[in-house]
Amino acid sequence: MSTTTTRGVAQPAPAKASQARPRRGLRSNATLNFWLFTGPFLIGLVIFVFVPIGWSIWLSFFDARYTVTPSNFVGFDNYRQILTNSNFPDSLLTFTIFAAFIVPTTWALSLGLALLVNQLRFMRAFFRSVFFLPTAVSYVAAALIWKMSLFTGVRFGLANTVLGWFGVDNIAYLSNPSPPWYWVVLVSLRLWIQSGFYMILFLAALQNIPAELYEAAEIDGAKRGWQTFWYITLPQLRATSTAVILLLLIAAYQAFDEFYNLITTKATWAQTPLMELYKAALGTNQDYGAGSAGAVILSLLICIVTLAQGKIMGFGRGEEAK
């Protein structure tokens, strides 16, 4: 790790000197350029990602209550504590269910939107922007809108007003966990925010599919619509789909903001892994050891899932492999 840092830091100086030299020199030195462009990013990665990960692993083996520089080594006690005597395992389960639902739904919705927008002959840019805009909204702000205007429990909330037309009684979407209406709130919010962004990814991929393929298929007698979608569009989108699913899965495991604001920590259900870790480490318990142990477990899980998914769906093999 340290070699990466020093090389990254050391490089900008010769880069400046090269300014006086003819331009060709800048282009020819590939190694220099590599470090010039990746260096700043790598330094950031090391400082803000790798060091904290290393620190967490170290903390997870110590009794670290009310401190992040502990001295009392406790071995695997924190892991035992977080796995047996906390709500963390429950949260992983809650969460896997959530991911199993939200990932395919977002995938399908953003692909659907991309296909629709791609079909448009006019106002395509307008619709592309409209669907993309929610990406710019923060989860916290959206959570407040969902909570205080769309899904309030009172009769004048939007959802309850609509239900009221059909004579359905007011529903307390968030306070009352049975039946679990809160999932409607959480899932709809996440769909609204996420779909537009992934739609753009799909749209770019769709526009990259060579038109000749469709022409060839038409000559071979494939019907426009379902048949071409199934045998040409979908296989051509495989690399993008894999990346999207991967990103969605990671985003789902990282879910925090909207759960924290909508469900709050004063509940025992719909607590995501990150919320449990927040409660353990940063909330009122201030137990950084147990919190770090949970964080390490979560990181491992994300790694395993990502690798397994890459293996199954062929992430990284890309288009060239075919």
Partner 1 sequence: MSAMSNSNWSRRSIFRAAAGMAAAGTLAACGGNNGRGGGSGSGTNLVQFFHAYGEAGTEQAIKRYAKAYSKANVSTTWITGTNFEAKLFSSLLTKQAPDVFEFHPQLQLVKSGQVADLSDIIDPVKSDFNPADINSHTVDGKIYGVRMIDDPQFFYYRKSMLEKAKVEVPTTLDELLEAAAKLTTDKVKGIDLGNDFTPVQGNLIWSAGADTLDANNQIAYHTDAVVQGLKQLRQLFTSGHVLLDAPTDWWDPSSLNQGLCAIQWGGLWSMPAMQKALGDDLGIFPFPKVGDNGKLSVTNGGWSMFVNAKGKNVEAAKAYVKWLWIEQKKYQEDWALSYGFHVPPRSSIAAQATKLKSGLPAEAVKLFTDYGHFDNIAWDQTMITALNDVIASSVRKGGDPEAALDACDKKVDVELKKLFG
Strand partners, 65: 287
- Output the smallest distance, CB 199 to partner 1, in A: 31
Of 68 and 243, which has the nearer Cβ to partner 1?
68
Strand partners, 78: none
How far apart (Å, rounded) are the C-alpha atoms in residues 217 and 232? 8
Instruction: For residue 211, give both structure tokens.
Output: 């038109």
How far apart (Å, rounded) are the C-alpha atoms in residues 312 and 73? 40
Angle between helices 288-313 and 238-253 (to 10 degrees): 170
Of 145 and 204, which has the nearer Cβ to partner 1?
145
How far apart (Å, rounded) are the C-alpha atoms in residues 171 and 181? 8
Of 1 and 51, which has the nearer Cβ to partner 1?
51
Of 43 and 68, which has the nearer Cβ to partner 1?
68
- Output the smallest distance, CB 73 to partner 1, in A: 20
- Output the smallest distance, CB 160 to partner 1, in A: 9
- Output the smallest distance, CB 16 to partner 1, in A: 11
Handedness of CA 269, 273, 279, 285 (dihedral sign): positive
Instruction: For residue 189, give both structure tokens.
Output: 């919010």
- Output the smallest distance, CB 13 to partner 1, in A: 17
Strand partners, 62: 73
- Output the smallest distance, CB 179 to partner 1, in A: 11
Of 31 and 69, which has the nearer Cβ to partner 1?
69
**Beta carbons of 146 and 262 less than 8 angstroms apart:** yes
How far apart (Å, rounded) are the C-alpha atoms in residues 196 and 113? 8
Quote the DSSP letter at residue 22.
Answer: -
Of 222 and 267, which has the nearer Cβ to partner 1?
267
- Output the smallest distance, CB 145 to partner 1, in A: 12
Burial class (CB in 10 A: 0-12, 13-18, 19+), 209: middle
Of 107 and 278, which has the nearer Cβ to partner 1?
278
Of 58 and 269, which has the nearer Cβ to partner 1?
269
- Output the smallest distance, CB 194 to partner 1, in A: 24
Nearest to 187 by CA among 274, 91, 105, 276: 105
Residue ranges binding partner 1 (CB under 8 A): 19-20, 66-68, 147-148, 151-155, 157, 169, 172-178, 264-269, 278, 282-286
- Output the smallest distance, CB 172 to partner 1, in A: 3
Residue 235: asked if its preceding bond is cis (omega within 30°), the reply is: no
Instruction: For residue 5, give the 3-state DSSP assignment.
Output: helix
Of 172 and 217, which has the nearer Cβ to partner 1?
172
First to last CA, the chain: 35
**Beta carbons of 275 and 256 less than 8 angstroms apart:** yes
267 contacts: CB under 8 Å, gap ≥ 6: 177
